[in-house]
Amino acid sequence: MSGSKPNLYGWNRDELRELIERHAAPSFHAGQIYRWLYARRRFDVTGWTNLALPLRSKIAAETRIDPGRLADRAQADDGTVKFQVRLAGGGDVECVRMLQTGRTTLCISSQVGCALDCDFCLTGKMGFVRNLFPGEIVGQVALMLEDSGPDTDRFNIVFMGMGEPLHNYDAVMAAVRLLVDPEGFGLSRRRITISTAGLVPAIEQLAREALRPRLAVSLNATTDEVRSRLMPINRKYDIARLIEACSSFARTTGDGFTFEYVLLEGINDSPQDLQRLAVLLRGLPAKLNLIPFNAVPGQLDYRAPSRERVTAFRDGLLDRQVRTSIRWSRGANARAACGQLALPR
């Protein structure tokens, strides 16, 4: 029966205020509940000690608080942990906690599956199941923080897990507002990055937001022929259209952005690709992350270039004044690396 009750987790202040007003209680209680949910991450109403007991009892009787639950975890040799989260609304997603010197990064999902069918991404092979609700998105953050213990007070969030974040625009932005609110999770917007395969209208919409996370765009090819084969979204928004949207984003917001480029041996790593990439990025306030392909034997028919070739590709771009770094794989032996997240349907 509890599953039929409305789930408070993911509600914003206005929604909580409406709840409080229905019980003829002072509206300031909405702010108190908000802080219990997101800043303190206390999900048992009985522990909300600054609310009167009768109000707590009514809330507990009429609603539930369900950020999801950790159904499984797998730890890689490098300390990366992949979590399987059972969602409050049904179904599962995977999310990842990456540990590096002085920094924790949480990689979260925005959809069960993905509709965009990028050929080198295992999530795309799942197909699209459903969008996540805001509470299911921030719930992944809460659950990973709870798992890591009380010492995690500085962390970054990347929407680079399962799904296309800008395909679930409203819920993702509602989650971002919970994450950056000083009385919510209290993150700086600059600690949050949304990665998109290139939904141009949504990039343009994001540029008009008063409160924006960082933007990362998966480019992955230097010709429309190759990109359309790798990423079907390119047939609708080609490279020129995507570059213009990103350039407009930077002009409108004053923010730089990142291009991501998954290196696939024999597909997009030639000297000609290097030269075309340098031309495409010339004059843009962008940096480039090179991502050697993370293999999934028997499921994805691609390989990464050798380490030497990856390094040489980076050095060639640096020589052409393109700000470039390599994002070496983390968590691959736990199937937690970029492009490896997927669950059976």
Q: Are 54 and 85 in a shared domain?
A: no
25 is in which domain, residue-wise? 2-62
- Taking 50 as the threshold, does the pLDDT of residue 227 lie above it? yes
Q: How confident is the model over 149-153, as a mean pLDDT? A: 59
Catalytic residue of the set 114, 118, 246, 338: 338
The string of pLDDT tens digits covering residues 299-339 is 888 999 999 999 999 999 999 999 999 998 776 665 555 66
Q: How confident is the model over 127-150, as a mean pLDDT? A: 92
Q: Are 41 and 176 in a shared domain?
A: no
Q: CA 124 from chain center: how many Å?
A: 15
229: left (phi over 0), alpha (psi -120 to 50) or beta: alpha
Is 94 an active-site residue? Answer: yes
Q: Which of 45-54, 147-156, 197-206 has the lowest mean pLDDT?
A: 147-156
**What's the CA gap between 203 and 223, in Å, rounded?**
21
With pLDDT > 90 as the criterion, what percentage of the chain qualifies?
82
164 in a structural domain? yes
Q: Are 118 and 250 in a shared domain?
A: yes
CB atoms inside a 10 Å sphere around CB 10: 25
For 116-119, the CB contacts below 8 A with 24+ separation are 116/164, 116/167, 116/197, 116/231, 116/232, 116/233, 117/232, 118/197, 118/218, 118/220, 118/230, 118/231, 118/232, 118/233, 119/229, 119/230, 119/231, 119/300
| 299 phi, psi to nearest 5 deg | -125, -30
Q: Are 191 and 120 in a shared domain?
A: yes
Q: Which residues pair with 73 in a beta bridge?
A: 83
- Taking 50 as the threshold, does the pLDDT of residue 2 lie above it? no
Closest CA to 314 of 256, 274, 267: 274
Q: Which residues pair with 111 in a beta bridge?
A: 131
Find the CATH number of the domain harbouring 74: 3.20.20.70
Residue where a domain stops, chosen among 13, 39, 62: 62
Find the CATH number of the domain harbouring 14: 1.10.150.530
Q: Give the per-residue pLDDT at 197.
A: 97
Catalytic residue of the set 15, 18, 94, 244: 94
Q: Are 41 and 78 in a shared domain?
A: no
Q: Are 31 and 75 in a shared domain?
A: no
Residue where a domain stops, chosen among 24, 41, 62: 62
**What's the CA gap between 270 and 221, in Å, rounded?**
11
Residue in the structure block whose two tokens are 């507990």: 60
Count of domains for the chain: 2
97 in a structural domain? yes
Mean pLDDT for the chain?
92
Determine how β-strand 286-292 pairs with β-strand 324-326. parallel
With pLDDT > 70 as the criterion, what percentage of the chain qualifies?
93
Is residue 135 a contact partner of residue 7, using CB atoms and an 8 Å limit?
Answer: yes
Q: Are 74 and 57 in a shared domain?
A: no
The string of pLDDT tens digits covering residues 66-124 is 999 999 999 888 889 999 999 999 999 999 999 877 789 999 999 999 999 999 998 88
Residue where a domain stops, chosen among 43, 62, 81: 62
Q: Are 156 and 119 in a shared domain?
A: yes
Q: Are 328 and 301 in a shared domain?
A: yes
